[in-house]
Amino acid sequence: MKIDFHHHIFPKAYLKELSTWTGYPRARLEPDGRIALVRKADEVLLRSSVHDNEARIKDLDKFGIDIAVLTLPNPFVDIFPIERGIPIARAVNENLAEEVKKYPDRLVGFATLPLRDPLAAVEELTRAITELGLKGVCIPASIDGQSPTSSQFIPIYETASRLDIPVFVHPNIPAGSEPMSPYRLITILGYLYDTTLMVSKLVFEGIFDRVPNLKLIISHQGAAIPYLAGRINQGYIEYKECKANINRPPMEYLKRLYTDTISFDHEAMMFAYRFFGEDQLLYGTDYPFLLGTPSTIAEDVNGLDITNEQKDKIFHKNALSILKLS
């Protein structure tokens, strides 16, 4: 069994908004049903299954994926002014819940939130979980280059903890991204920086102490966290400001995190497996974005020098547990 924990959707309600948006990023529907995601520096052409779930189910069957956990990728609703972003977030979640109901054995939905208004975000998170039946929430690692780690965002994390749902962190376009414009380096490198910065600030802001039961999943195999954890930990030892909000070494918080399997390097995946542990690695493909494919990532997992029981944890058992589906 395979559960894809990093699997994207543009619900039709959102595509409608993106296709009429004059800013960046925006969407353009191609005659063949594919979606062109138009960004300042480039375009990404996405297969029609990003919004057509009949086509998605065919791809799930093709790649041997039993369940897809659906999240909105960037651009998130926070590209819109807040008075527009709040109703868009509500429409996206309602649309997503409707799609999940059509395929309840194959699809799981995660909510999106209007983070420019944290109080409205808390209200929408509660509604999406308790009324719409979504199973978690996806948030961006930054909004306009700022990580959602200040005190005004803590009620969102507290609400997720109270509802006992996972929070999936997906990168956004990071601050200072202009030098990364050539060669699609924002996608290749910038996204990982965005996630790494947010997680580091969550630790040093003391949010994991204030919300000890927070289930946080970071995408792209932990970004740079597994490889910089020692340096982050050393900062706590050396710098008094890094001790201001926490009383334990950062490593203790970082080891709590969950992550996916998207790295495209066998040795990196094995390192992440050792760092996070067998209970906190989740199979994920970044479908339908084509920096890799579900097949190659499954091969990477199968190529790990671990037991079949441990591979089953990565492919589905850990996901069943965190989603409370077993």
According to DSSP, the β-strands at 43-46 and 35-38 are: antiparallel
Q: Per-residue pLDDT averaged across 196-211, rounded?
A: 97
Q: Please report the pLDDT score of residue 290 as a whole number.
A: 66
Average pLDDT in the chain: 94
- The Cα–Cα gap between 128 and 233 comes to 36
pLDDT at residue 126 greater than cutoff 80: yes
**Structural domain harbouring 208:** 3-8+53-323
pLDDT at residue 292 greater than cutoff 70: no
Q: Please indicate, yes or no, if residue 44 is contained in any of the structural domains.
A: no
Q: Please indicate, yes or no, if residue 241 is contained in any of the structural domains.
A: yes
Instruction: Report the interhelical angle of 82-102 vs 12-20 (nearest 10°).
Output: 150
What is the rounded radius of gyration, in angstroms, for the C-alpha atoms of the chain?
Answer: 19
Q: Please indicate, yes or no, if residue 20 is contained in any of the structural domains.
A: no
Q: Please report the pLDDT score of residue 148 as a whole number.
A: 96
Regarding predicted confidence, which is higher, 319 or 74?
319
Count Cβ atoms below 10 Å from residue 8 Cβ, excluding itself.
21
Q: Please indicate, yes or no, if residue 175 is contained in any of the structural domains.
A: yes
Q: Please report the pLDDT score of residue 264 as a whole number.
A: 87
Q: Please indicate, yes or no, if residue 41 is contained in any of the structural domains.
A: no
Q: Please indicate, yes or no, if residue 28 is contained in any of the structural domains.
A: no
Least confident of 10-24, 62-76, 233-247, 310-324: 10-24
Query: In the structure, what pLDDT confidence band is assigned to residue 48 with cuts at 50, 70 and 90?
Result: confident
Spell out the SS3 assignment of the chain: CCEEEEEECCCHHHHHHHHHCCCCCEEEECCCCCEEEECCCCEEEECHHHCCHHHHHHHHHHHCCCEEEEECCCCCHHHCCHHHHHHHHHHHHHHHHHHHHHCCCCEEEEECCCCCCHHHHHHHHHHHHHCCCCCEEEEECCECCECCCCHHHHHHHHHHHHHCCEEEEECCCCCCCHHHCHHHHHHHHHHHHHHHHHHHHHHHCCHHHHCCCCEEEEHHHHCCHHHHHHHHHHHHHHCHHHHCCCCCCHHHHHCCCEEECCCCCHHHHHHHHHHHCCCCEECCCCECCCCCCHHHHHHHHHCCCCCHHHHHHHHHHHHHHHHCCC
What's the CATH number where 215 sits? 3.20.20.140
Q: Please report the pLDDT score of residue 33 as a whole number.
A: 84
**The most confident of 10-14, 23-27, 101-105, by mean pLDDT:** 101-105
Q: Please indicate, yes or no, if residue 310 is contained in any of the structural domains.
A: yes
Number of structural domains (the chain) is: 1
Q: Is 312 exposed, middle or buried (0-12, 13-18, 19+ CB in 10 A)?
A: middle
pLDDT at residue 37 greater than cutoff 90: no
pLDDT at residue 54 greater than cutoff 90: yes
Stated pTM of the model: 0.95
Q: Please indicate, yes or no, if residue 15 is contained in any of the structural domains.
A: no
Query: In the structure, what pLDDT confidence band is assigned to residue 226 with cuts at 50, 70 and 90?
Result: very high
